[in-house]
Amino acid sequence: MGKTTIIAIAGASASGKSLFASTVYQQLVAELGSDGIAILAEDAYYRDQTHLSLEQRQLTNYDHPSAFEHKLLAKHLQQLRDGKSIEMPQYSYTTHTRLAETIPVSPGRVVMVEGILLLSDPELREHFDISVFMDTPLDICLLRRMQRDLEERGRSISSITEQYQATVRPAFFEFILPSKQFADLVVTRGGQNEIAIDLIQSKIRQLLAE
């Protein structure tokens, strides 16, 4: 196998990171097959909290770097680069814990990883060959997050608004926005930016052809 390229996709919560990553992935997989290209989620590396009660887990700040096991993510990225398979954790936003089952991820020529704090961690940044920042207006992110958290993450309007004001918005200004300077490509209009999707896909095709 040739050299591995690791592409990070960062940005605010609900800025469209996973939609962007999966759009790029699905179109390429249709052309190239699933060998050679893999997607990881930073959210899968939220710390396991099974030792805490549900009430205690609800008090965790999920927008602070300390909520993530970035060292494990860094180790997994290095293993994929070294041509080794990894077992990616799975995470539940309902119980705020890791699931017992992991997902095997085979090494590929291209690894995409998406998450809010990827570019804010200097050690993680060392692993990225290409960094993308989704620059979606924060009010749009909030609207999308509300709808998603209500429909998919079992949250109430009051818990969404409390969490947003207590941790999500402050962390955006403290950690996420300052990390934009480390991006090679800043993407506006998220998953609807077909030019940006095309650019990343062309780069990936070029890498896979080398």
| Interface positions with ligand L45E5XJ5 (CB under 6 A) | 13-14, 17, 43, 46, 62-63, 93, 96, 116, 168
Which option in ligand ADP, ligand L45E5XJ5, none does residue 168 bind, with CB closer than 5 to 8 A by kind? ligand L45E5XJ5
**Cα–chain center distance at 10:** 6
Q: Which stretch binds ligand ADP (CB under 6 A): 13-21, 31-39, 52-60, 167-175?
A: 13-21
191 touches ligand ADP (CB under 6 A): yes
Q: Which of 117, 183, 190, 203 binds ligand ADP (CB under 6 A)?
A: 190
Q: Which is nearer to ligand ADP, 18 or 49 (CB)?
A: 18
Q: How many CB atoms lie within 10 A of CB 71?
A: 12
14 touches ligand ADP (CB under 6 A): yes
Q: Which stretch binds ligand ADP (CB under 6 A): 17-25, 32-40, 74-82, 157-165?
A: 17-25
Q: Where are the beta strands (DSSP E) in the chain?
A: 5-11, 37-41, 86-88, 91-92, 97-98, 103-105, 110-114, 130-134, 185-187
Chain positions 116 to 175 lying near ligand ADP, rule: CB under 6 A, are 144, 148
**Which residues does residue 112 pair with via DSSP β-bridges, in sequence order?**
7, 39
Q: Which of 4, 6, 10, 15 binds ligand ADP (CB under 6 A)?
A: 15
Which residues, other chains included, contact 59 with Cβ-Cβ below 8 Å and sequence gap of 6+? none
Distance CA 149, CA 146 (A): 5
Work out the burial of residue 179: count CB atoms within 10 Å of its CB; fewer than 13 is exposed, 13-18 middle, 19 or more buried: buried
User: How many residues make contact with ligand ADP (CB under 6 A)?
Assistant: 13
